[in-house]
A and B are shown apart, each in its own frame.
Chain A
Amino acid sequence: MPTFEYAPAPESRAVVDLQPSYGLFIGGEFVDPVDGTSMKTVNPATEEVLSEVAVGGAADVDRAVKAARRAYERTWSRMPAAERGKYLFRIARILQERGRELAVLESLDNGKPIRESRDVDVPLAAAHFFYHAGWADKLAWAGLHGAALGPDGVPLPLGVAGQVIPWNFPLLMLAWKVAPALATGNTVVLKPAETTPLTALLFADICRQADLPPGVVNIVTGAGATGAALVGHPDVDKVAFTGSTAVGREIARTVAGSRKKLTLELGGKAANIVFDDAAIDETVEGIVDGIFFNQGHVCCAGSRLLVQETIAEEVVGRLQQRMSQLRVGDPLDKNTDVGAVNSAEQLQRITDLAAVGDAEGAQRWTAPCPLPENGFWFSPTLFTNVSPAHTIARDEIFGPVLSVMTFRTPSEAVTKANTTPYGLSAGIWTEKGSRILWMADRLRAGVVWANTFNRFDPTSPFGGYKESGYGREGGRHGLAAYVKEA
C-alpha cells in the first residue's frame, strides 16, 4: 500500500523579482549609502545568499531623518486627514494584490513556513493598514486622553518617528509601526532587522506604487549601529522598538532625559496554563500553536507550559504524539508546519540554552522530525522535569523549545505564571468560565488568551507589562503612542 505522503508543494519563487543589491529608501528613491558598505542577506533554509543590502551609517540616518522632517513639514502634516487615510487604503490594497509575492519573499528571507506568511503575516499586515487608514480622519473621536489638540480639535502628531523592528515578523512588524504612525500624521524612518530586510524594501516599492509623497516613509537597512543612530538622532520625536529586552533597555537609556516619546515591545516568557477540565484536543493544538508557530520566534510564545498535575502525563503524551506529526522543512512548501531558524546566531542560542536545560537536569524530548541538511534547523523540543529555577524556565529561548512544569491549584498557577520579570502574554485552558475570569484578572500580562493562543488583530491592543515593555500597538490604544501630549 502506498503511504499517504504530502507532496513537496513548493510555492513558486518566480513571483519574486529579487535584485542583486538594494540601496536605502530615502526621500522616495533608492540611494546608495554614504560610506558604501553592504551586507548579505541569506535564505536561512538553504544558506543561499539572496541579495546584498546597504548598511546605513549615521550620515544615512541623518539624511533619512531630514527627508522625513521635510515631508512632515511640507506635505504630510498639511494634507487633509482624509487624503492621508486614502494613501493608507491604497497601500493596504497593494499589500493584498502583491500578497503572494510578499509571502514568498518573507518565507525566503525569514525561513517561516509559507502557510504562515501567506495566511497570517501578509493578511494581518494589510489588515493593519486598512484599520488605521480609517482612523486618519477620525482621530478626534479616538478618545485620546491628554493629547495636544490642534485648532480643529484633532490630536496632533509628533513629527518624525524612528522605528526599529525585529526579524521574526518583518512585514507585520513594519505594518504595526508604519500604519499607526502615518494615520496619526507622522512621517517615519524605519530600520528593518539585519537578517530580514527584503520585505521592507519591497514595501518601499509599494509606497512608490501608491504615489506616497517622497520622504513620508524612509527605510534604512543595517544592523545594530544603524538602529542606535536612528534612536539617538536628535531630530526624531518618537521612538518605537520591537525586539529583545536587552536592546529595549539600551534604547530606554538612550532616550532618557529627552522629550522623545517611546514605546517598547520586548521579550516574554509566557505561561500557558492547562487545567484538567480543558478541551483537551484543542488545548494540545493551542500548546503546539503557542510554541511552534513561527519556529517559536515569537515574543509572546507560550514557552512555559504549566499543566495541572492531574493530567500532566496525559497532556505530555498527547503533545509528543502531536509534535511527532509536525512537518519541519522547506519554508516554501505549503505543507510545512515548522520552518528554518532565522539565523546561525539564533540557532546557536537555542542550541546553547537547550544544552543548559540538559545540564540543569531537565528531561529533553525531541520530535522525530527529519531535518534538511543545509540551513538552520532545530527540531521541536519539549523539556519535562523543569523547575521554575531552571534557566529554560526563566530565559527567553525564542525557538521551538517548550518547558513543561506542573501545578496543583489555580493560585499556584498564578504565582508560577507571574514569577518572571516579563509580562507580555499568558494562556489559560479550562472549560470553567469563572476560573478563566479569575485567572485573567490575576495574570500580570498584557495579553491573555483563554482557550486560544497567538491570536492577533489590528483592533486589539498588544503589548506588555513589566520588562516586556510599554505602550500598546493596535486598537484605539495604539494611536496614543503617536500623538503629542498636551
Chain B
Amino acid sequence: MTATTPALTDRVRDVLGSTTLDDASLRRWLHGLPGVDEVGAHGRAAMLGTRSIKTTSKAWALDLAVSMVDLTTLEGADSFGTVRSLCAKARVPDADDPACPKVAAVCVYNDLVPVAVEALAGSGVKVAAVTTAFPSGRASLAVKLADTRDAVQAGADEIDMVIDRGAFLSGRYLKVFEEIVAVREVCDEAVALHGRRAHLKVILETGELSTYDNVRRASWLAMLAGGDFIKTSTGKVSPAATLPVTLVMLEAVRDWAALTGEIIGVKPAGGIRTAKDAIKHLVLVHETAGERWLDPDLFRFGASSLLNDLLLQRRRMRTGVYASPDRLTLAT
C-alpha cells in the first residue's frame, strides 16, 4: 500500500480488520456495508422534507445556511473580474444588512486561486479550489497531483478533488483510495508553506455512481483514505445533490464517527437553489447526523444562485415584505 503515514496504515488495519490492502480486501469491506434501499431512503428524505421550523429557528437557519455556502463559479468563461466580484459578494453578501454573515468559502478553478486569495485576504472567507482534472478526473495521477499542488501553493485553504469514478465502478477501489491518499498528502504540504493544512473535500459525483449502495461505499472509501469532507457532486452532472443522496452521506459520516471517533463533513453541491431546499437539507443534517454537524466546518452547500435566495428570504423576514432580487448584488 502507498499510504505513507503510519497513522493511516494503522487505521486501515483497524477498520478493515485486514493487514493487506488491495482491491479484494477493499471490496470485501465495502460490500460488507449494509445496503441502502432506494425506496426507503426516498421515503425518509421526503418525510423529513415536510418538517417546518420555528420562525426564530428559521432566521437562525437562514444565517447558518449563508455561512455554509461555498460560493462557486466553475465556468470556462470565468475571468479575474468575475471572481473578484464573487469574492466581494462573499465578504458582504447583503450590502443593506451588516448583520448578514459571510459565506464559508469561494470555490473556483485552480488558476483563479491567486485572484480569490487576494480578494478575500483578511476576510475569513476561505478559498476552495477544484483540482484533480475537475470535473471528469480523467488525467494521470501526476497531473492531478500537480493540479492540486498548484492550488495549494497559491494559497487555497480547501481542495475539492474528484474521485476516479471509472475506477470505482469497475471495482478498482485501491486506485481510488490511493489517489485520495496521494492528494491528501499534497494538501498536507500546505503546513510547510502556510502553517496550516488544506482541507480535502472528496467529490464522489453521485450522479454517476447510479446507486445508493455505491454512494455509501464511495463515502466510506473516501473517509478511510483521509478526506475531511465528502461532497456529492461537481455540479456538472445531473442529478447532483438530492435529499436522499445527502441523507445516505450523512448516515455515512454518522456511522464513521461512531466507529472511529472522527468527525467528517458533508457538502451537497449542485442543484440546491432555494432557501427552502437548504432548510430541508439542514433538517436532514439535524435528524440524521445530529446537531454537531450544524456547523460550517462540517456542512457546506456548494452553490451559486442559492445565496441570493437565502438573502431574499432574510430580507423578507426582516422587513415583512417580499423582496426583489433587483435589490441584491449579482454574484458575478
Q: How far is the CA of A216 from the CA of B286 in the complex (A)?
A: 51
Q: How far is the CA of A335 from the CA of B291 in the complex (A)?
A: 18
**Contact present for A4 and B39 (CB under 8 Å):** no
Number of B residues, CB within 8 Å of A: 29
CB contact between B41 and one of A8, A119, A281 (< 8 Å): that residue: A281
Q: How far is the CA of A334 from the CA of B44 in the complex (A)?
A: 16
Interface residues of A in 276-312 (CB under 8 A from B): 277-283, 285-286
Q: How far is the CA of A35 from the CA of B330 in the complex (A)?
A: 75
- The interface residues of chain A lying within 8 Å CB-to-CB of B230 are none
**Contact present for B52 and A9 (CB under 8 Å):** yes
Q: Which residue of chain B has its CB nearest to the CB of A4?
A: B286
The smallest beta-carbon distance between A304 and chain B, in angstroms, is: 20
Interface residues of B in 269-299 (CB under 8 A from A): 282-283, 286-287, 291, 294
- The interface residues of chain A lying within 8 Å CB-to-CB of B37 are 279, 282, 451-452
Interface residues of B in 47-92 (CB under 8 A from A): 47, 50-58, 60-61
Q: How far is the CA of A280 from the CA of B251 in the complex (A)?
A: 10
Chain B 30-42 interface 0/1 with A at a Cβ cutoff of 8 Å (1 = within): 0000111101110
- The interface residues of chain A lying within 8 Å CB-to-CB of B36 are 279, 281-282
**Contact present for B40 and A6 (CB under 8 Å):** no
- B43 at interface by CB-CB < 8 Å: yes
**Contact present for A4 and B294 (CB under 8 Å):** yes
The smallest beta-carbon distance between A430 and chain B, in angstroms, is: 10
Q: How far is the CA of A319 from the CA of B282 in the complex (A)?
A: 22
- The interface residues of chain B lying within 8 Å CB-to-CB of A485 are none
Residue of A3, A277, A334, A452 ringed by the most chain B CB atoms within 10 A: A3
Q: How far is the CA of A191 from the CA of B43 in the complex (A)?
A: 34
Q: Which residue of chain A has its CB nearest to the CB of B59?
A: A2
- The interface residues of chain B lying within 8 Å CB-to-CB of A5 are 53-54, 56-57
Q: How far is the CA of A303 from the CA of B251 in the complex (A)?
A: 26
- The interface residues of chain B lying within 8 Å CB-to-CB of A431 are 35
Q: A282-B37, A431-B35 are in contact. Are A7 and B286 (CB under 8 A)?
A: no
Q: Which residue of chain A has its CB nearest to the CB of B52?
A: A9
The smallest beta-carbon distance between A348 and chain B, in angstroms, is: 31
- A325 at interface by CB-CB < 8 Å: yes
**Contact present for B40 and A286 (CB under 8 Å):** yes
Q: How far is the CA of A277 from the CA of B36 in the complex (A)?
A: 11
- The interface residues of chain A lying within 8 Å CB-to-CB of B34 are 277-281
- The interface residues of chain B lying within 8 Å CB-to-CB of A282 are 36-37, 40-41, 44
Q: How far is the CA of A280 from the CA of B54 in the complex (A)?
A: 31
Q: How far is the CA of A214 from the CA of B291 in the complex (A)?
A: 58
- The interface residues of chain A lying within 8 Å CB-to-CB of B56 are 2, 5
**Contact present for B43 and A2 (CB under 8 Å):** no
Residue of A3, A4, A8 ringed by the most chain B CB atoms within 10 A: A4
Chain B 158-190 interface 0/1 with A at a Cβ cutoff of 8 Å (1 = within): 000000000000000000000000000000000
- The interface residues of chain A lying within 8 Å CB-to-CB of B282 are 4
Q: How far is the CA of A281 from the CA of B41 in the complex (A)?
A: 8
- The interface residues of chain B lying within 8 Å CB-to-CB of A283 are 40
- A115 at interface by CB-CB < 8 Å: yes
Q: How far is the CA of A9 from the CA of B35 in the complex (A)?
A: 35
**Contact present for B39 and A335 (CB under 8 Å):** no
Q: How far is the CA of A5 from the CA of B248 in the complex (A)?
A: 23
Q: How far is the CA of A280 from the CA of B37 in the complex (A)?
A: 9
Q: How far is the CA of A451 from the CA of B60 in the complex (A)?
A: 38
**Contact present for B52 and A3 (CB under 8 Å):** no
**Contact present for B287 and A7 (CB under 8 Å):** no
The smallest beta-carbon distance between B242 and chain A, in angstroms, is: 16
The smallest beta-carbon distance between B232 and chain A, in angstroms, is: 17
**Contact present for B50 and A452 (CB under 8 Å):** no
- The interface residues of chain A lying within 8 Å CB-to-CB of B294 are 4
**Contact present for A452 and B39 (CB under 8 Å):** yes
**Contact present for A7 and B57 (CB under 8 Å):** yes
CB contact between B54 and one of A7, A279, A286 (< 8 Å): that residue: A7
Q: How far is the CA of A451 from the CA of B37 in the complex (A)?
A: 8
CB contact between B291 and one of A4, A7, A119, A280 (< 8 Å): that residue: A4
- The interface residues of chain B lying within 8 Å CB-to-CB of A286 are 40
Interface residues of B in 254-282 (CB under 8 A from A): 282
Q: How far is the CA of A193 from the CA of B112 in the complex (A)?
A: 70
Chain B 14-45 interface 0/1 with A at a Cβ cutoff of 8 Å (1 = within): 00000000000000000000111101110110
**Contact present for A452 and B40 (CB under 8 Å):** yes
**Contact present for A6 and B35 (CB under 8 Å):** no
Q: How far is the CA of A319 from the CA of B234 in the complex (A)?
A: 35
The smallest beta-carbon distance between B211 and chain A, in angstroms, is: 12
Q: Which residue of chain A has its CB nearest to the CB of B279?
A: A4
Q: How far is the CA of A325 from the CA of B291 in the complex (A)?
A: 12
CB contact between A2 and one of B40, B50, B52, B57 (< 8 Å): that residue: B57
- The interface residues of chain A lying within 8 Å CB-to-CB of B291 are 3-4
Residue of B39, B54, B60, B283 ringed by the most chain A CB atoms within 10 A: B54
- The interface residues of chain B lying within 8 Å CB-to-CB of A2 are 56-57, 60
**Contact present for A6 and B39 (CB under 8 Å):** no
Q: How far is the CA of A235 from the CA of B60 in the complex (A)?
A: 65
- The interface residues of chain B lying within 8 Å CB-to-CB of A279 are 34-37, 40
Q: How far is the CA of A119 from the CA of B43 in the complex (A)?
A: 12
The smallest beta-carbon distance between B49 and chain A, in angstroms, is: 11
Residue of A5, A115, A278, A286 ringed by the most chain B CB atoms within 10 A: A5
**Contact present for A6 and B54 (CB under 8 Å):** yes
Q: Which residue of chain A has its CB nearest to the CB of B63?
A: A2
Q: How far is the CA of A285 from the CA of B36 in the complex (A)?
A: 12
Chain B 104-138 interface 0/1 with A at a Cβ cutoff of 8 Å (1 = within): 00000000000000000000000000000000000
**Contact present for A7 and B61 (CB under 8 Å):** no
Q: A3-B57, A7-B57 are in contact. Are A285 and B40 (CB under 8 A)?
A: yes
Q: How far is the CA of A279 from the CA of B52 in the complex (A)?
A: 28
Chain A 343-369 interface 0/1 with B at a Cβ cutoff of 8 Å (1 = within): 000000000000000000000000000
9 closest A-B pairs by CB? A282-B40, A7-B54, A282-B37, A280-B34, A9-B52, A279-B35, A279-B37, A2-B60, A431-B35
- If A281-B41, A282-B37 are given as contacts, then 10 extra A-B residue pairs at C-beta distance below 8 Å, sorted by A number, are A4-B53, A4-B61, A4-B294, A5-B56, A6-B51, A7-B55, A325-B287, A334-B50, A452-B39, A452-B40
8 A-B residue pairs with Cβ-Cβ distance under 8 Å, sorted by A, are A7-B53, A7-B57, A277-B35, A281-B248, A281-B251, A282-B36, A282-B41, A286-B40
Contact residues of A with B, CB < 8 Å? 2-9, 115, 119, 277-283, 285-286, 325, 334-335, 431, 451-452
